[in-house]
Amino acid sequence: MGASDDHLRALSDDDWIRAVIRDGQALGFEADFLLRRAASFVRQQLERRVDHEFAERFAHHCPVAGARTTDYLHRVVTFGSDAALVGIRFRGGDMAYPFVDLLVCTSPWREVLEEFESVVRDAFAVFAPKALRVFEARVAAIEEGEVVDQWFHAATIDEVARTEDDGRCEMVRIEPVVAKDLDACFESLCRWYHDFATSEPALADRVQPTSREQLGACMADDALRWLVARDERVGLLGFARAEERYFDGFVVMEEIVARAHRGHGYAARAQHLLAKDFVPQESGTLLWGTIDAHNRASIRTARRAGRPARAAWLFHAL
């Protein structure tokens, strides 16, 4: 079933915004903050229903036989008295795993999942999507057997700055990456990720290095640091200002420790030290990151740094 014109005309931006706020309140965000962020998120996602430049770029990078450029646009689908804003995606750019991303739904998705899945499958049939991805704002609601794509780990800068460790990793310190060292920084990053792919082949296609441009963004925010132990550069940590959904603040853009130096808690310690650098001027600012569900080392690091899992993106097979 597609979206009827009468139903779409009856939907306003406020309807979508209320749906986003509903999920955000489950995460404990305040109403004023949610209203501001939800409006921005909804506006961006709705614009992608008609943003043909977005669709052309997407189709160029992820071409699918038989798919028209317009098939890559976001769309609104209706089912019963409900509607959802959705878009096609490919997991980690993997053309073998297309999925439909549920961006906003007028009702809580668990209440309409069964009816919704058949509508989505038909709407994106040209891509043969393997799954529907949904955002679950309540970790406690995740049921046994549900497949987690990514975890959302978050805390305030203050909370991470207050995190205590067991003293084993005090030997690590952080040093700013300066502009003249950005190329060397990127080269080190690529080398460490090559070693990571060799030692963790199951994650090689799921976890990719940050681009040079993204490292530059971290540097522009004065939040790109070497991890140094015994005067040797053993890793890299970068925060960057970012907005996603109704989250804004600092995202953990990059975090890696050289293979020979893993297992000592260096990455968590570095997050603690860099967060301390941002207190008090960034007091109350959210520090967040998304972590692949199979990346157990990064999940442990986030928890150890004081960033627990606050939400998750789940896959439901289609």
- Flag whether pLDDT at 106 surpasses 70: yes
- Flag whether pLDDT at 141 surpasses 80: yes
249 in Cβ contact with 152 (< 8 Å):
no
Q: What is the pLDDT of residues 229-262, one digit of tens each?
A: 999 999 999 999 998 777 889 999 999 999 999 9
- Flag whether pLDDT at 139 surpasses 80: yes
Interatomic CA distance for residues 216 and 130, integer angstroms = 36
The per-residue pLDDT of the chain, averaged, comes to 91
For residue 250, what are its two tokens?
A: 């600092």
- pLDDT: which is higher, 189 or 170: 189
Q: Please give the average per-residue pLDDT across 135-155, as a whole number.
A: 94
Interatomic CA distance for residues 109 and 313, integer angstroms = 12
> Which pTM was predicted?
0.90
Helix (H) or strand (E) segment spanning residue 90: strand 82-90
| Confidence tier at 3 by pLDDT (50, 70, 90) | very low
Q: Is the dihedral of CA 235, 238, 244, 248 positive or negative?
A: positive
Q: What is the pLDDT of residues 261-271, one digit of tens each?
A: 999 999 999 99
Rg of the Cα trace of the chain?
21
| Confidence tier at 10 by pLDDT (50, 70, 90) | low
Q: Give residue 7's pLDDT.
A: 53
- Flag whether pLDDT at 103 surpasses 70: yes
- Flag whether pLDDT at 4 surpasses 70: no
Q: Which domains does the chain have, with CATH numbers?
A: 5-137 (no CATH), 154-309 (3.40.630.30)
Q: Give residue 1's pLDDT.
A: 45
- Flag whether pLDDT at 31 surpasses 80: no
* Cα atoms in the Cβ-side hemisphere of radius 13 Å centred on 196: 23
- pLDDT: which is higher, 112 or 169: 112
Q: 232-244 and 247-257: which strand pairing?
A: antiparallel
Q: Give residue 171's pLDDT.
A: 84
